[in-house]
Structure 1
Amino acid sequence: MVLKLTLEYDGSKYSGWQLQPRHDSIQGRIEAALERIFAAPIRVFGSGRTDSGVHARGQVASISIPRPFDPAELQRALNSLLPADIVVLDISHAPDNFDPRRAAQSRVYEYRVLNRKIASAFEYRYSWLVRDQIDLTAMNSAAHIFVGEHDFAAFRSLGTDVTTTMRRVISSEWTRDADVFLYRVEANSFLRHMVRAMVAAMVDVGRGKLAADKVATILDGLDRHAAPANAPPGGLYLVEVRY
């Protein structure tokens, strides 16, 4: 029986989604809980790998279980065994060939920037504190440059094993609510650290340190060293995987 899981988690204390030796991961926690329920190892396949410190509100995963199990009961059992910062939002039946990564049509990420002089006791794990004044209109001018199909070689981690750095961005926009700037981006898929590199460049535009048209130059130049260092991981959230 193949099941589809939808999860949310606070990634602050974890090494990321993926299993890693001697590191605490989201995947590892879920697999450990499943092994307690079924008394057998169960591999969990995610729609994508979130990095250390990155959060999720709508991560999707699949499991193949050795015997029939009511999805609602399994959800309750998992949530009783998982730590409070990992929650199974939904479990449903899936086709036998369901692959949460390959079947995804697009993914949606959000990034939170807290724009004020003083840090927040509540937001420090969940947003990037930017003390300089930033301009929403300028950042949206840069955000719209990313829409469409482009080679994002300048906005990814070097050394990652990918067959192509071409990606199609469907939407890219900043909004503001008081002192929180929220970036929302949807693409067919993302390169590693792509969103964080894009956010860093757009925030530099908002600060007045980088012209918006320079972002297009960096994008076209395909040189990772020409783009700013990545924004911190704590402001990034995987919001939704669309099928």
Structure 2
Amino acid sequence: MPLFQPLDDITRHTGRLALGVEYDGSAYCGWQRLKHAASVQAALEDALARVAAAPVRVKCSGRTDSGVHATRQVVHFDAPSPRSQKAWVFGANANLPRDIAVRWAVPVADDFHARFSALARRYRYVILNQPSRPVLERANATWCREPLNTERMHEAAQALVGEHDFSSFRAASCQSTTAFRHLHFIEVRRYGPLVVIDVQANAFLHHMIRNIAGALVAVGKGEQGVDYMARILALQDRSLGNVTAPGCGLHFVDSLYDERFDLPREPLGPNLLAFVGEWTGERELPDTPLMRYRRRWPHSAEERQRARAQAAAGASLSDQESS
């Protein structure tokens, strides 16, 4: 997708639409609509309802925690009123606060589901590793004043690649029925003062990436050896893990779907890392039972029921209905 692709202002779309949404999560208690606090979902739905002149409810590819940011949160909704692509994007943005924006809107097939059709999610955890506290980056990077050895961090992180029980890295409040997740890759790289933990999986548990980041920082500081991540993973006990890293450094940068949905491609964020030059969908996805299952969505009621039973038993399709 070109960076400056024009938006259609003639064709009025009804039916199912997918949106790419970017937000700074600093002022919100996460993605999900709440009665007692501000959420990204509530702000987006209210803005879209103004454009449609009717109530709108959206489904997202993955919920984010309080203070966590996103550069490619994918959502879908069934448009209650016909509006052009330009009207949905510009109209929503005119009614959204400045820390949330719709990047694109495209019509999709009725069987597209932002959550259940997703093949993978990708996050980047950004650490500003320098002696002085951050100023311009203070809201979207975590500060670490002690020097970090990224080579040791990267080596230690490779123990997490593959399908594992990630109980040692889930929050106590995590509601998932299983702790099994398939982590496709995790990389730790330094770009000047920026240390970036780049991780992709079929899905993630509550606080999973922030708990991984906290443990990797301990390795980078030299407080733990390179075998630390493997040892913590094997314990399957969160109480024996390390601290949870702050939410401000975490960015949801990609949600991947089967090519048949033809969603826009765009540079991966955050813009702090634009110089890296990678775009969505450039890396090959692993060929796993879960991946094949997701590519065949939707499924019959009988198949969904069978898959849920397998998930409850901790089978390899454990995430077919996890965020």
| Distance in 2 between residues matched to 1:160 and 1:51, nearest whole Å | 12
Match of 1:187 in 2: 201
1:97 Cα deviation from its structure 2 partner: 2.5
Partner of 1:217: 231
Matched residue, 1:5: 19
Q: Do 2:157 and 2:229's aligned partners in 1 also have CA atoms closer than 8 Å?
A: no
Q: Describe the SS at the equivalent of 1:158.
A: coil
Distance 1:73 1:222 in 2: 49
- The match for 1:48 is 62
Q: TM-score, normalised by structure 1?
A: 0.97
More strand by share: 1
Counterpart-to-counterpart distance in 2, 1:179 and 1:96: 45
Question: SS at the partner of 1:2?
Answer: strand
1:240 is aligned to 254
Q: Distance in 2 between matches of 1:74 and 1:131?
A: 43
Deviation of 1:104 after TM superposition, in Å, equals 0.4
User: Shift of residue 235 of structure 1?
Assistant: 0.2
Structure 1 segments, 4+ long, off by >4 Å, are none
Which secondary structure state, in structure 2, belongs to the residue aligned with residue 132 of structure 1? coil
Cα separation, 2, equivalents of 1:49 and 1:231: 18
Q: Structure 2 counterpart of 1:141, which letter?
A: E
The one of 83, 98, 116 equivalent to 2:130 is: 116
The yes-or-no answer on 1:57 pairing with 2:71 is yes
The answer for the alignment partner of 1:178 in structure 2 is: 192
Partners of 2:166 and 2:179 within 8 A in 1: yes
3-state SS in 1 of match to 2:80: coil
Matched, 1:27 2:41: yes
CA distance in 1, matches of 2:167, 2:74: 26
Cα distance between partner residues in 2 of 1:161 and 1:126: 27
Q: Identity of aligned pairs, percent?
A: 39
Q: 1:100 aligns with which of 109, 114, 127?
A: 114
Unaligned runs of 5+ in 1: none
Q: Following the alignment from structure 1 to structure 2, what is the Cα–Cα distance between the partners of residues 166 and 214?
A: 20
1:153 corresponds to which of 149, 162, 167: 167
In structure 2, runs of 5+ residues without a counterpart are: 1-14, 258-323
Name 2:101's counterpart in structure 1: 87
Q: Distance in 1 between matches of 2:30 and 2:173?
A: 18
Any conservation in 1 of the 2:47–2:96 contact (CA below 8 Å)? yes
In 2, Cα distance between the equivalents of 1:177 and 1:129? Answer: 15
SS at match of 2:199: strand
TM-score between both structures, scaled by the size of structure 2: 0.74
